[in-house]
A and B are shown apart, each in its own frame.
Chain A
Amino acid sequence: QPVAMNAFELISMSKGLNLENLFGT
C-alpha cells in the first residue's frame, strides 16, 4: 500500500540510492 508509506520511505526504495550495488563490480 504505497499510500500508507511516507514519501521518503518510497524514495529510499530507488535502486539509485542503493550503494550496495557499487560493490558488485
Chain B
Amino acid sequence: MGCVPSKGRRQFPGYEDPVFLAAQTTFSVSEVEALFELFKSIGSSVVDEGIINKEEFVLALFKNRKKENLFASRIFDLFDVKHKGVLDFGDFVRALHIFHPSAPLEDKIVFSFKLYDLDNTGFIERQEVKLMLLALLGESEMKLADETIEAILDKTFLEADTNQDGKIDLSEWHSFVLKNPSLLRIMTLPYLRDITTAFPSFVFYSEVDEAAA
C-alpha cells in the first residue's frame, strides 16, 4: 500500500513498528495501523501530544471529561504497564490485544483478576469488592441497602472463595469465571475483529506493503 507518505508517525512518543506489534499480538499489521487511527483520535481529544492521558481515556469512555470513575481508572492503570501515567501506542495495542475475540482465554482471566485486585495483593478481597459495588451504585444511581450489599457479598464469596479464607485467589477466580462465563463478557470486544473497517483511513497512511500486512 503506502499510498501517501507517512506524516511523521515515528514522531509519536513510544511509537512502535506495526510489523513488530503485530508479531507480538493477535492483530494483523493492517489492524495495528487501524488501531493507530483510533489511538490518534483518543490521544488528541484533550492535548495533542501523541499519547493518551487518563483524562482522554475517561473522556473516550464517558464523553464527559469531568467524570471520575474507579473502573475506567483501574483499566487505564492496567494498560499503563510501564507506570508512566500515560499510554503510548505500544501500551495501547498490547493491552487491547487481550480484548480481541481470538485472544487466549487465560489472558482474559488473568487481566480480569488484576482488574478487581485493586490493591495488587494477589487476592480479590471482600473490602475491594464492596468498594467496587459502591462505586457501581454511585455511577448508576441504583440504590441498595447495606444489608443487601452484604448479602450479595456473602453469596458471592460463598461461591467464589472455595477455601473460605475470606479472599479470592487466582485459582479460585479461574474456576469461578469458568462457571460464570458472562463475567468475561467485558473482556471481549467483537469490534476489534472489524477494526480495519471502522478506521479505513489507515490505508492512506500505511507504511507497509500489502504482502506484509
Contact = CB atoms under 8 A, between A and B. Distances in A.
A12 B156 contact: no
Contact of A25 (B41, B72, B73): B41
Interface of B: 38, 41-42, 45, 58, 60-63, 69-75, 96, 99, 115-116, 129, 132-133, 135-136, 139-140, 142, 144, 148, 151-153, 155-156, 159-160, 180, 182-183, 185-186, 189, 191, 198
A13 B38 contact: no
Minimum-distance CB pairs A-B, first 10: A16-B71, A16-B72, A16-B69, A7-B156, A6-B156, A14-B71, A17-B71, A21-B61, A17-B186, A11-B132
Contacts of A8: 116, 129, 156, 160, 180, 183
Contacts of A18: 61, 186
A25 to B, nearest CB: 5
Interface of A: 2-3, 5-25
Judged by DSSP, the binding face of B is helix
A16 to B, nearest CB: 3
A6 to B, nearest CB: 4
A25 B71 CA distance: 19
B79 to A, nearest CB: 10
Contact of A14 (B99, B129, B135, B155): B135
A24 to B, nearest CB: 8
5 contacts: A7-B132, A7-B156, A11-B129, A14-B71, A18-B186
A14 to B, nearest CB: 5
Contacts of A19: 61, 75, 96, 99, 186, 189
Contacts of A2: 142, 144, 148, 152
